[in-house]
Chains A and B, each alone.
Chain A
Amino acid sequence: MAAIRHESILGLDNIRLDLPVASVGSRSLAAFLDYLILIVLMFLWLLLSALIGAFLSSAWMPVILIVGLFLLNWGYFAGFEIATGGRTPGKMALRLRVVTAEGGSPGAGALLMRNLIRAIDLIFGVPMMAIDPLARRLGDRLAGTLVVHDRGREAAPVLGRIPPGWGARELAVVEAFLARARSLENTAESWQMADHILDRIRADAPELLAGIDTRRDPVAALRQALQVEDA
């Protein structure tokens, strides 16, 4: 899995925030999905108009068709983004959302603006996103918006007891291992890794392993020794 590109901005009190910027690939895929949905919606509208024409009013059928297609064409993206706070169905599928350049929620004006430029961005957008570190197309530059990954928070193991001398690097490695240990298919390998960490604990703080059986399930023993909690 490719790493998500982060771009730093300064938030309140000049605190650095790293925005997980969506790059040209995921954005193009989301746009592709949206255009597929748009085509389906237009086709459905065509069918609905034909049904109205056949059963209700043939005089108003072309009006409903023309106005509906016009609104879908110009309003699909802006409408969804305004209604959902920066998401279209394509963006939802890829877990992306539009934010302001400061990481806040964009207003209706900005969302409308970035989507009015969409027709022009069909030509210029992709190269512009590819060369810009913030992957902004023309519409984003005009509206002052960005598209970011919208990863929800998942419970992750947090160490409750730390052997003396351990720094952030050790903590990060152990927590990352414990987060992945459950999903590793090869139990022997994960046990081997857990054994290595237990050896290190044995050397640094043997009292943490007092009364813990490390032979039966090293991963469980590791969680017990470090008082790991999923939070």
Chain B
Amino acid sequence: MDYARFVRLRRPVWEAFEAQLAAGRDRWRSFGYRELEEMALRYRQVLHDHALAAARFPGTAVAQRLQTLALEGTHRLTGERRQRGGLLRFFTHTFPRAFQRQLGVTGFAVALFLLATFWGLAIATLRPALGITMLGPEALQGLEEGELWTDSLVTTVPPSISSSGIATNNISVALSAWSGGVLAGLVPLYVILLNGLMLGSIFGVTLHYSMAGELLEFISAHGPLELTLVVVSAAGGLAIGRSLVAAGDKPRALAVREAGRDALAVLLGCVPWFVPLALTEVFVSPSPQLPVSLKVTLGLALESLFLFMAFRPVPAEATDDRA
């Protein structure tokens, strides 16, 4: 087929496809089955014409036009499937499924965190001076006077400011721990170990000053879930890091993408919890009027609710619905 004849015969198809792409820009969802079928057929025809033009007439205006059209069609007609069912389906299906797939690495992260906590506790109990240096002189002065440093954290600034500050700070920690996973998992590892070490040594020091009860009371409402969320988000980062370092029998690019999808779903399932937690930390945890039993119950309820959402049995689907 010569060039001029090729253009004359095939141009109506290209123009019709271009017109459909332009129309789809505004009213994609209103396309009926027939229109979509026509479009799919024309896309295939355009791809084949592009292949022919690239081989027979390279460098010509028509070859360039078909190249642009084939790319535009590929961009518009192929791509990642949109999540169905919105937020509710995400929290009831996608998140628990991703969490459960990532359970092994989450278990490893929890074990690391507990190990670091016991290590911190042991250091602060056996060598209180070391633990004290981690808290700083002001907190130490407060402890000597029988006050926890946490009191000043939430009483010197209005609760609205401290709650938004706490929420954004905690979310930033979770996001950084997660995203740092691309550095071979080193950042989430650091976050998990540091948090565990700090928690353990703080307990050790407060035990030394006989203030551990007050500290437990303060963290009982928000602490369990807050630490869980940080560790679970960091575990997502660890999963990404593991896929980079040891991809197994999959190509590394594929392993990283798969780990990233699950880790993202887990992270997105964790982040919203930080908002009610920050409000709890500001309004419930430091309140002397509220009984300890209520704070403990609230803390356990929040933790149980999260764990229930995460471990909720979700039937396996034929088609994957990763985020």
Which A residues lie at the B interface, using CB under 8 A?
11-13, 15-20, 59-60, 62-63, 66-67, 70, 74, 99-100, 102-110, 112-113, 116-117, 119-120, 138-139, 141-144, 148, 151-153, 156-162, 168-169, 171-172, 175-176, 179, 227, 231
Q: Are B180 and A142 within 8 A (Cβ)?
A: no
Q: Are B79 and A107 within 8 A (Cβ)?
A: yes
Chain A residues lying within 8 Å of B117, measured Cβ to Cβ, are none
Give 29 pairs: A residue, B residue, CB < 8 Å, sorted on A.
Answer: A11-B70, A12-B44, A12-B47, A15-B47, A15-B70, A17-B50, A17-B67, A17-B71, A59-B160, A62-B160, A62-B161, A62-B164, A66-B164, A67-B164, A100-B78, A103-B78, A104-B78, A105-B79, A107-B80, A109-B265, A112-B268, A116-B178, A117-B179, A120-B182, A138-B182, A142-B240, A153-B69, A157-B61, A231-B11
Tell me the bound Cα distance from A181 to B16 in angstroms.
29
Which B residues lie at the A interface, using CB under 8 A?
2-4, 7-8, 11, 18, 43-44, 47-48, 50-51, 54, 56-62, 64-65, 67-72, 74-83, 158, 160-161, 164-165, 168, 171-172, 175-176, 178-180, 182-183, 240, 253, 256-257, 260-261, 264-265, 267-268, 322-323
Contact A103 to B75, CB < 8 A, known contacts A110-B80, A142-B240: yes
Q: Are B80 and A172 within 8 A (Cβ)?
A: no
Tell me the bound Cα distance from A67 to B43 in angstroms.
45
Least Cβ–Cβ distance between A207 and chain B, in angstroms:
15
Q: Are B179 and A119 within 8 A (Cβ)?
A: yes
Chain B residues lying within 8 Å of A19, measured Cβ to Cβ, are 71
Chain A: which residue is nearest B178 at the CB level? Answer: A116
Q: Are B60 and A105 within 8 A (Cβ)?
A: no
Chain A residues lying within 8 Å of B172, measured Cβ to Cβ, are 70, 74
Q: Are B47 and A63 within 8 A (Cβ)?
A: no
Chain B residues lying within 8 Å of A138, measured Cβ to Cβ, are 182
Chain A residues lying within 8 Å of B265, measured Cβ to Cβ, are 109
CB contacts between A and B, total, < 8 Å:
166
Contact A102 to B59, CB < 8 A, known contacts A107-B79, A144-B257, A158-B7: no
Q: Are A113 and B79 within 8 A (Cβ)?
A: no
Q: Are A142 and B47 within 8 A (Cβ)?
A: no
Least Cβ–Cβ distance between A175 and chain B, in angstroms:
5
Q: Are A102 and B164 within 8 A (Cβ)?
A: no
Contact A103 to B161, CB < 8 A, known contacts A13-B44, A142-B256: no
Tell me the bound Cα distance from A144 to B47 in angstroms.
23
Chain B residues lying within 8 Å of A171, measured Cβ to Cβ, are 3, 57, 59-60
Q: Are B179 and A15 within 8 A (Cβ)?
A: no
